[in-house]
Chain A
């Protein structure tokens, strides 16, 4: 029983392409997040949605656009991919007010 799942797990693409990463959680949580882990393993929040409403939007280029069709799903679309977008992207979920976030397996994105 996968709690937080992401697809795909690996993504290799050329500069300038557009790609999407999908995330789904079956924990019944109301809040979902996207984090980026760079090559030095540093993790940083990108976006957060609570009940389909955007509540956190850190300083992220406009090429990144999250979408939450319902509270169990959070997708990340990236336009015009750049070399610097290469990273591992993690989805996470939590119940607001409970603190603990549960992470998906990550999507390793490599831009060539």
Chain B
């Protein structure tokens, strides 16, 4: 069974600084997707970024980028120029690329932005 581990329950960063959230996963499959979702206090689940396992290039979306290390099964999220609106719970998630495409989530990291 696939598992996703987020070892940092809480992180904080000064506004305008850079922060990296960690995620590791375990799978025996070679083709899959990885995601970071953000859940602000409004509780809406918002997709931040996604990575396809077959792509070597790390995904980027504006201030958000990932460091995808397939061999190490590591998928960290870097947030640059942190803004107050980035304060939220961040969930790392895994999905297979075929069959039952359920999302398996990590336990989340609560990110606080210090003004």
Q: Name A's B-contacting residues (CB within 8 A).
A: 31, 33, 35, 40-45, 48, 55-56, 58, 88, 90, 92, 94, 96-97, 99-103, 105-106, 108
Give the total of B residues in contact with A, Cβ under 8 Å.
25
For B50, what are the chain A residues with a Cβ–Cβ distance below 8 Å? 99-100
* Inter-subunit contact A100/B47 (CB<8 Å): yes
For B39, what are the chain A residues with a Cβ–Cβ distance below 8 Å? 41
* Inter-subunit contact B91/A99 (CB<8 Å): no
> If A90-B45, A106-B43 touch, does A96 touch B101 (CB 8 Å cutoff)?
yes
Question: Which 6 pairs between the two chains have the least Cβ-Cβ distance?
Answer: A103-B45, A99-B33, A45-B102, A43-B105, A106-B43, A56-B100
Additional A-B contact list (7), CB under 8 Å, known A41-B39, A97-B101, A105-B44: A45-B104, A97-B97, A99-B50, A99-B95, A99-B101, A101-B103, A102-B47
| Closest chain A CB from B86 CB (angstroms) | 17
Classify the secondary structure of A's interface with B: strand
| Closest chain A CB from B8 CB (angstroms) | 14
For A92, what are the chain B residues with a Cβ–Cβ distance below 8 Å? 45, 103
For A97, what are the chain B residues with a Cβ–Cβ distance below 8 Å? 97-98, 101
Task: Tell yes or no: B15 within 8 A of A by CB.
Answer: no
Q: Report how far A43 CA is from B98 CA in the complex, Å.
A: 21
| Closest chain A CB from B105 CB (angstroms) | 4
* Inter-subunit contact B105/A44 (CB<8 Å): yes
Residue of B nearest to A96 (CB): B101
> If A31-B101, A97-B98 touch, does A41 touch B35 (CB 8 Å cutoff)?
no
For B108, what are the chain A residues with a Cβ–Cβ distance below 8 Å? 41-42
Question: B102 contacts which of A33, A42, A106, A108 (Cβ < 8 Å)?
Answer: A33
Task: Tell yes or no: B21 within 8 A of A by CB.
Answer: no
Q: Report how far A105 CA is from B37 CA in the complex, Å.
A: 13
CB-CB contacts of B1-41 with A at 8 A, as 1s and 0s? 00000000000000000000000000000000101010100
Residue of A nearest to B47 (CB): A100
Interface residues of B in 81-104 (CB under 8 A from A): 89, 91, 95, 97-98, 100-104
